Amino acid sequence: MYIAMNRFKVLKDRTREFESAWFNREIYLHKVPGFIAFHLLRGPEREDHVLYSSHAMWRSYDDFESWTKSEAFRKAHARAGDSKPTTLGHPEFEGFSVIQEVLTDGTVKRAASD
Amino acid sequence: MYIAMNRFKVLKDRTREFESAWFNREIYLHKVPGFIAFHLLRGPEREDHVLYSSHAMWRSYDDFESWTKSEAFRKAHARAGDSKPTTLGHPEFEGFSVIQEVLTDGTVKRAASD
């Protein structure tokens, strides 16, 4: 499993607009092969921003990578330019490979990290 | 849903030891009320470290908080002192509230962010 996150530093007085843009977008992700789930996360509040992150769970890195080269990706990212920014700078991407998984029934799965 | 992450900057020549400590630990989490899943994540490699993160999914923030006050938490964190550190500094905690969820069937759930 692979988790793709984009971290956004959202200006404190622009969180409502930032959330609305996500809530009102067209969603294409769920039809993409290898997609498991998407979450929009609201994280800690810091001095000059609130940390948000997108959080997409994929069956594998390859599924994620294929999506980034797809028409669905292009459509999802073809937004009209915002008139006023809601964030400090650009989002910061972090991709993670799941190397151990623990489930409620006590199952422990381990995956090679490379 | 609530996602609790602890970010670790692992020294490049200590990743094997860091992973082993996780793989060999006793696991108590799966019996805790509100626990959904745990993942150990390996993230991007940077100049002087590899970013790892623990990633625990909880039904709610309250379930997470109750766990941090429990005997299961105390046991999970009562490790013997390492003879040699595997990380740069202390882990950095970040907790996230899930404010939107998209699933493979196209279901979109939205939760209040506060």
Verify whether the Cβ–Cβ distance A96 to B23 is below 8 Å: no
Enter the ipTM.
0.91
**Inter-residue contact A38 to A55 (CB < 8 Å):** yes
Contact (CB, 8 A) for B86 and B18: yes
Using a CB-CB cut-off of 8 Å, the residues of chain B touching A101 are 37-40
Inter-residue contact A12 to A18 (CB < 8 Å): no
CA nearest B46: which of A62, A91, A94, A61? A94
Choose the mutation target among B9, B50, B52, B104 for the interface with A, i.e. most A CBs under 10 Å: B104
Give the integer Cα–Cα distance in Å for A72 and B113: 27
Q: What is the pLDDT along chain A (114 residues), one digit of tens a residue?
A: 999 999 999 999 999 999 999 999 888 888 899 999 999 999 999 999 999 999 999 999 999 999 999 988 888 787 655 567 899 999 999 999 999 999 999 999 998 654
Contact A50, A15 (CB under 8 A): yes
pLDDT tens-place string over residues B60-108: 999 999 999 998 888 878 765 556 789 999 999 999 999 999 999 999 9
Kindly list the distances between the CA atom of residue B99 and the CA atoms of A41, A82, B113, in Å, as whole numbers in the listed order.
6, 22, 6
Which amino acid appears at position B101 of this protein?
E
